[in-house]
Structure 1
Amino acid sequence: MRVTGDQALVKKLNKSIVLDTIRRNGPLSRTDVSERTGLNKATVSNLTLELLEQKLVEETGLGASSGGRKPLMLLFNGAAGCAIGIELGVTLVKAALTDLKGGILLERSAPLGRHDPDTAFAVILEAVRPLLEEAPDTPHGVVGIGIGVPGMVDESGTILYAPNLGWEGVDLGARLEKEFGVPVVVDNEANAGAAGEREYGAGRHVRHLVYVSAGMGIGSGMIIDGQLYKGAWGYAGETGHMSIESDGRLCSCGSRGCWELYASERAYAYAPAAGGSAEGSGDADVRARDAASPSSLPALTTPELAEYARQGDAATLEMYREIGRRLGIGVTNLVNGFNPEKIVVGGPLTEAKEWIEPAMLATIAERALPYHRRELAVSFSELGSRSALLGAAHLAVSQFLGRVRVSL
């Protein structure tokens, strides 16, 4: 059966295309928009008028003339509304209020001491409420909330499985919508990070991108041919739980030798104590660390350990070299498996970039297949530890704008 859209659907689609074209490429004249989209000038003019009335687009002055009257230029109005991005971590909840262009207006964070859903929900409220109270008066107000979580999320926003939180079947999205009365988008934090880097960071204009989020765990967001890849049922990207040691450490997911136990902040729990000597650790100490509980959290944070590294502490420097090497092994698997244009490493571990990066790049150069790495670019995030935060806000903005992905 042949399916056709009615006029309202076609108009909505065309309006979305016009808005997205101006948002990404402005300032543009109406003629520019017509040429870029293939829509006729009358259609563009009518749709632009609606967008101007909705304050989503603004006229910014006269452009260059091509022989006739100088055209009025159009620009996306990022101040027309706000969005809130949230990153739910294992030890911390971060939230940011942004404009519609991803500019951060306010930020809040709150420590997460316990992992049960009720406690996490209360901490999220603690971080978000001040942002809502201090949000500026805009034509569209707070258009939505996006939240990145460390686990598998289905299309309805239910967190199916988050091993580092001990969650299964938690409908966080519906609970937040009921509390705040605005639309809520829930996604895996690595997918949110990939969206953030693609929109605002190191992944701009990259069509084949793998974003590796390295914090208290590891996840990957994969953009293939310009589209976020989620797999058959939406669970792709749990690369932190691919095994790099067949008989390695026991993981909270139930498997052994998972990548994140060796190449994320989880590895701190198994490393020699900062301030000690990497060579002075005895076999008994090593066995004790390797037998640590899979849910063990490290005693020190990345900022604290980075300070030891800056002071030249031998144990800390060796730990970061080993984390870099292990990170490179996992990245090599992603390079060989997906052949991306670019790998971007983000998340809290980026604060230790200067001690991790040399070993990571050397390992990738040594192990990746030559044709795969020939055109490959590997970098750390331009957004630092804010990739998922900004990506989550962008997901909320995209839902509000009704963006439809169309190949023009």
Structure 2
Amino acid sequence: MKTILGLDIGGTKILGVLYDLDGKELAREKKKTKANEGLEVVMSQIYKVIDALKSFEDAQILAIGAGVPGIVDDNGTVAFSPNIPFRDFTLGKKLSERYEVPVYVGNDVNVAMYGEYKHLDSRASKHVLGIFIGTGVGGAIIIDGKLYTGQGSAGEFGHMVVSADGAYCGCGAQGCLEAYASKTAIQKYILKQLTKGRKSMFSDLLEEDGAVLKSSSIRKAYDAHDELAKEVVDRLARYMGIAVGSLVNLYHPEMMIIGGGITEALGDLLLEKIISESRQHAMPGLMETVNFTVSELADEAGVFGAYQLAQNML
């Protein structure tokens, strides 16, 4: 049986899915990344996932695709990954040599975005942008139906400047979208407001959720008409709107996909606010021909995109 393997390599888990050539899922395997135990352990975990799927019935793996957080060049070398000990690491080459098949390695958001794109009716739209709101803010560009990565790292929409001389971002620059619209930035803003004495459900929700506030808790507080939650969502939409309006001016895409955990939790509520704010920053007339949608595949987008990109190699 001819198959293609998709991998989503994250800071906490490695998910692998085996597909047939028509995109039907045949089997899946998941392991902890164990990133804090070093490079050799991480690679051992990746091999365990692939080997488990490789042994599925009479599977003949023709290609492997993988998404990895961080900066990845066109040769599958991971220059830097924030949560995995990959530094100038030739991941694509190592996997290709070990399993003797072509291997595609790309940035995780780019790969997931391509998965979302292929999941939709891709025949209807050839020029598509994606922004994903997670721990950081990632982006991806599809031009004429093909994933555009520049020299390997195009689509870093989270590091567009939306407030000159604004808040410092984790990248060291000031005013990046990620410093305002990421889940990390949102939680930081909530904690700052609580220390000022603001009364909010978030006091209890943060205690329940632990170190990291859940996206569902933001929706819960918003639905309960919590004033701070309303302020947080409006603030998120405002900065996302600045970025989205600017991207529409730059690319004028046929479609824009907004994804990530917070987007999935808030759904059309957030999307409508972003679109409304974007109109204040896009040139007159451009927004009317852009189709906006919320991502649908959630955690499956990464492995499905990896499968699609690996299949392209064949």
Give the stretch that moved more between structures: 263-272 or 372-381: 263-272
- What's the secondary structure of 2:79's corresponding residue? strand
1:103 aligns with 2:56: no
State the shift of 1:311 in Å: 6.0
- Tell me the TM-score normalized by structure 2: 0.81
Partner of 1:331: 244
Q: Aligned match of 2:69 in 139, 150, 166?
A: 150
Q: Aligned match of 2:2 in 70, 81, 94?
A: 81
State the shift of 1:148 in Å: 1.2
Task: Give per-residue Cα distances to partners, 1:118-165, cap 9 Å, x unaligned.
Answer: 4543443454443333x3425xx1222111122222222101233465
1:383 aligns with 2:297: yes
State the shift of 1:279 in Å: 6.7
Partner of 1:18: none
Looking at structure 1, the residues matched to 186 and 44 of structure 2 have their Cα atoms a distance apart, in angstroms, of 28
Contact 1:322–1:359 at 8 Å: present in 2 too?
no
State the shift of 1:104 in Å: 2.6
1:320 aligns with 2:233: yes
Contact 1:193–1:211 at 8 Å: present in 2 too?
no
Q: Which has the higher contact order (CA 8 A, sep 6+)?
A: 2
Q: Note closer, same or farther for the CA distance 1:170–1:251 as it changes in structure 2 (3 Å cut).
A: farther
1:173 aligns with 2:92: yes
Looking at structure 1, the residues matched to 130 and 42 of structure 2 have their Cα atoms a distance apart, in angstroms, of 26
- What's the secondary structure of 1:379's corresponding residue? strand
| 1:227-266 alignment, distance < 5 Å | 227-231=146-150, 233-266=151-184
Partner of 1:341: 254
Tell me the number of residue pairs that the alignment of Structure 1 and Structure 2 aligns.
301
Q: Which runs of 5+ in 1 are unaligned?
A: 1-79, 285-296, 402-408
State the shift of 1:368 in Å: 1.8
Partner of 2:111: 192
State the shift of 1:369 in Å: 1.5
1:132 aligns with 2:54: yes
Looking at structure 2, the residues matched to 247 and 166 of structure 1 have their Cα atoms a distance apart, in angstroms, of 32
| 1:39-58 alignment, distance < 5 Å | none
Task: Give per-residue Cα distances to partners, 1:264-301, cap 9 Å, x unaligned.
Answer: 2222431325xxxx9755189xxxxxxxxxxxx96234
Give the stretch that moved more between structures: 193-202 or 371-380: 193-202
Looking at structure 2, the residues matched to 306 and 97 of structure 1 have their Cα atoms a distance apart, in angstroms, of 34
Q: Note closer, same or farther for the CA distance 1:317–1:209 as it changes in structure 2 (3 Å cut).
A: same
RMSD (Å) for aligned C-alpha atoms: 3.1
Q: Which runs of 5+ in 2 are unaligned?
A: 199-209
Q: What one-letter code is carried by the residue in structure 1 that aligns with 2:178?
A: E
Task: Give per-residue Cα distances to partners, 1:381-405, cap 9 Å, x unaligned.
Answer: 2323322321111111221x3xxxx
Q: Sequence identity of aligned pairs in percent?
A: 31
- Tell me the TM-score normalized by structure 1: 0.64
Q: Note closer, same or farther for the CA distance 1:183–1:99 as it changes in structure 2 (3 Å cut).
A: same
